[in-house]
Amino acid sequence: MNTTLMRDTTAAVALCDVRKVYGTRSATVTALAGVSLDFGRGRFTAVMGPSGSGKSTLLQVAAGLDRPTSGEIHLDGTPITGLSETKLTKLRRDRIGFVFQSFNLLPSLTAELNVALPLRLAGRRPKRKDVRAVLASVGFADRARHRPAELSGGQQQRVAIARALVTRPAVLFADEPTGALDSTTGREVLTLLRRLVDGVGQTIVMVTHDPYVTSFADRVVFLADGRVAGELYDPTPQAVAERMTFLESAP
Burial 1-33 (b: 16+ CB within 10 A, else e): eeeeeeebeebbbbbbebbbbeeeeeeeebbbb
Number of domains in the chain: 1
Q: Which domain holds residue 205?
A: 3-249
Please report, in tens digits, the pLDDT of each residue of the chain (251 residues total): 333 433 445 799 999 999 999 988 788 999 999 999 999 999 999 999 999 999 999 999 999 999 999 999 999 989 999 899 999 999 998 899 999 988 999 999 999 999 999 998 888 888 888 899 999 989 888 889 999 999 999 999 999 999 999 999 999 999 999 988 999 999 999 999 999 999 999 999 999 999 999 999 999 999 999 999 999 999 999 999 999 999 988 76
pTM of the predicted model as reported, rounded to 2 decimal places: 0.91
Instruction: Give the whole-angstrom CA distance, residue 23 versus residue 27.
Output: 6
CATH number of the domain bearing residue 66: 3.40.50.300
What spatial distance separates the first Cα and last Cα of the chain, rounded to whole Å? Answer: 41
Helix axes 183-200, 153-165, angle to 10 degrees: 20
